[in-house]
Structure 1
Amino acid sequence: MFINKLIESIKEKKSSVVVGLDPRLELIPSIVKDKYFKKHGKTFKAAAESILEFNKEIIDNVCDIAVAVKPQIAFYEQYGIEGLKAYDETCRHASKKGLLIIGDIKRGDIGSTSKAYSKAHLGKTEVGGEYLQAFYSDSITVNPYLGDDCLKEFVEDIEEYEKGMFVLVKTSNPSSSQLQDLEVEGKKIYEKVAEMVNNWSDQYIGKFNYSSIGAVVGATYPEEAKRLRELMPSSYFLVPGYGAQGGTADDVVPCFNKDGLGAVVNSSRGILYAYKKEEKWTEESYGKAARDAAITMRDDINTTLEKHDKKYW
């Protein structure tokens, strides 16, 4: 099961760090970009090859610190087919380096469409009697807006292929309250979604008493996270918003259970572009800067969890 692999990695690495691979071409070092733009001109291929080299260097430097990477597919789709090739190769390279892949695709639609999304990112697609893998992910993010029949299609492949998913419950963006905090029958919408996620989670519990069906809960809403932890005791939380979005280690503590497990914390910009933060780092050392930032994040979270008596190691 996905959740068993995730927790085993957390315990082995003593880390709850997820690195978000959200490549921004303008922030990738020129030493990487220049050779591809010289070779291919101002093309999608040049952009995609720059992104892939950048990602591989980041992955190679954080693979023993992070437990997973979370490539956000939109950052790749904007470069067309070449960008999607870079996405696919990024996922496969990270997997070879021992990292779990959380495909940040945020898909969710009517049943048949969700099934196609699920085949593309979790399962396999039939082609003339052969079953082929399109994109590699160990887990994905899912938008629950269309309800249970949307989630059901992903759950079938999660069960068959031992994958996982994180359902958007309370996101980290400032305007999330416009819809997620509305009340229906005396409950916030995010609470209603949490109850739906919990019903699915309880059916797929692994050996550590957690489920492969989890929730996205933003670090920027610690009070809401505390309530959601109560509503989804066996769901693993994927927690965005740490670092560049303003979330701190103290903010993510409510996402964890008393056993020190229950959440993984994502950082994207704070790790990927750490080389821009301090003068000691040069463009050539962007991978080492990312590694240093990942270690700092890991230690920050672990120290804070221990302070709150939530030590898991």
Structure 2
Amino acid sequence: MDERGRLCVGIDPHPPLLRAWGLGDDVAGLREFSLRVVDALAGIVAVLKPQAAFFERHGSGGVAVLEETIAAAREAGVLTIVDAKRGDIGSTMQGYADAFVREGSPLAGDAVTLSPYLGFDSLTPAIDTALASGRGVFVLCLTSNPEGAAVQLARSDDDGATHGVTVAARIANAAGEANALELAAGGNPGADQHALGSVGLVVGATVGDAARRGGVDLAGVRGPLLMPGLGAQGGSAESVRAVVGTAWGQVLASSSREVLGAGPDADALRAAARAAIDALT
């Protein structure tokens, strides 16, 4: 982010976009699309984020393309977040961890997205495995879909008294604690107030004042904030600033359609990405 700016570009090869690029909705089209994006944007953007669902819908061949895309990005020197949104408990969560963040797994990018709604502690196998291999996780916290707030900002009652502690705030607090421990283990906690830990949150670019209303201390997370929704979904640098307040230095804003829609021409993709990066400066 320091070297290349605050932009993450999603690799979202959904059928209409494949057609718009003149490609088939099949494994061959999937591969051509994904590798073109890597080739065009590596060296320009901070992070690429392949959406696992669009690969998995093609079965084993699609998963093989996801593996190839991750490997190509690594070879080109660009970080990847595998957008898989996994969440489970015990040995099953460890299985997901082994797939997406264990060293040597062909599906392991540099980070993975996780769902915490079986309890934040259910993510411990994935967080531990990620940290052991020098990787990270992004935990869903405040998403931009309208129905998300009913769960993410739900308040708990005990004997009729509203505590005012939200699900999202608990997630953010737990992430902050995990990052504090990681940064402390690095040898000199607090020496670099700009250092970020490896447990990040997913916060929608269009959620407005949800963090403030939910009592979510985003700056206290001390981790990166992956913020999808930039561009075609209505998010902008201004809306991102309104969401994060003083946590601007942690922002990694994500755009998919706004950049990918400029393709398939590689120069047009690069120009669209640079425009988005400039807007976030």
Q: TM-score range by the shorter chain?
A: 0.7 to 0.9
Gaps of 5+ in 2: 157-162, 187-191
Deviations 1:252-294 (A, max 9, x none): 125667585211010011111124xxxxxxx5x2x22221111
Q: Which amino acid aligns with 2:3?
A: E
Q: Does 1:219 align with 2:226?
A: no
Deviations 1:60-94 (A, max 9, x none): 22112211111110111111001111111111111
Deviations 1:205-245 (A, max 9, x none): 26652111110011111323455344634121001111111
Q: Which amino acid aligns with 1:219?
A: A
Equivalence for 2:272: 293
Given that 1:216 and 1:239 are in contact with CA atoms closer than 8 Å, whether structure 2 keeps it comes out as yes
Matches within 5 A, 1:14-93: 15-29=5-19, 32-33=22-23, 47-93=26-72
Query: How far did residue 137 of structure 1 move?
Result: 0.8
Distance 1:161 1:230 in 2: 25
Given that 2:73 and 2:80 are in contact with CA atoms closer than 8 Å, whether structure 1 keeps it comes out as yes
Given that 2:209 and 2:243 are in contact with CA atoms closer than 8 Å, whether structure 1 keeps it comes out as no
Given that 1:167 and 1:214 are in contact with CA atoms closer than 8 Å, whether structure 2 keeps it comes out as yes
Equivalence for 1:123: 102
Question: What is the aligned counterpart of 1:141 among 100, 110, 113?
Answer: 113
Equivalence for 1:186: 164
Equivalence for 1:269: 257
Distance 2:56 2:254 in 1: 21
TM-score by length of 2: 0.87
Deviations 1:143-186 (A, max 9, x none): 11112431110122122101000110101222211211211232
Q: Matched residue of 1:96: which SS?
A: helix
- Percent identity reads 31
- Structure 1 stretches of 4+ with a deviation exceeding 6 A read none
Say if 1:224 and 1:31 are closer, same or farther in 2 by CA, change over 3 A. Answer: closer
Equivalence for 2:3: 12
Q: Which amino acid aligns with 1:252?
A: V
Q: Matched residue of 2:240: which SS?
A: helix
Distance 1:31 1:211 in 2: 38
Q: Which amino acid aligns with 1:160?
A: A
Given that 2:27 and 2:65 are in contact with CA atoms closer than 8 Å, whether structure 1 keeps it comes out as yes
Distance 1:230 1:215 in 2: 9
Distance 2:201 2:44 in 1: 23
Q: Matched residue of 2:230: which SS?
A: coil
Cα RMSD of the aligned pairs, angstroms, is 2.2
Higher mean alpha-carbon deviation, 161-170 vs 222-231, is at: 222-231
Distance 2:38 2:121 in 1: 36
Q: Which amino acid aligns with 1:11?
A: D
Equivalence for 1:199: 177
Question: What is the aligned counterpart of 1:250 among 208, 227, 238?
Answer: 238
Q: Which amino acid aligns with 2:164?
A: G
Equivalence for 2:145: 173
Distance 2:180 2:230 in 1: 28
Distance 1:263 1:166 in 2: 12
Distance 2:173 2:248 in 1: 22
Equivalence for 2:189: none
Query: How far did residue 114 of structure 1 move?
Result: 0.6
Equivalence for 2:136: 164
Gaps of 5+ in 1: 1-9, 35-45, 125-131, 276-282, 303-313
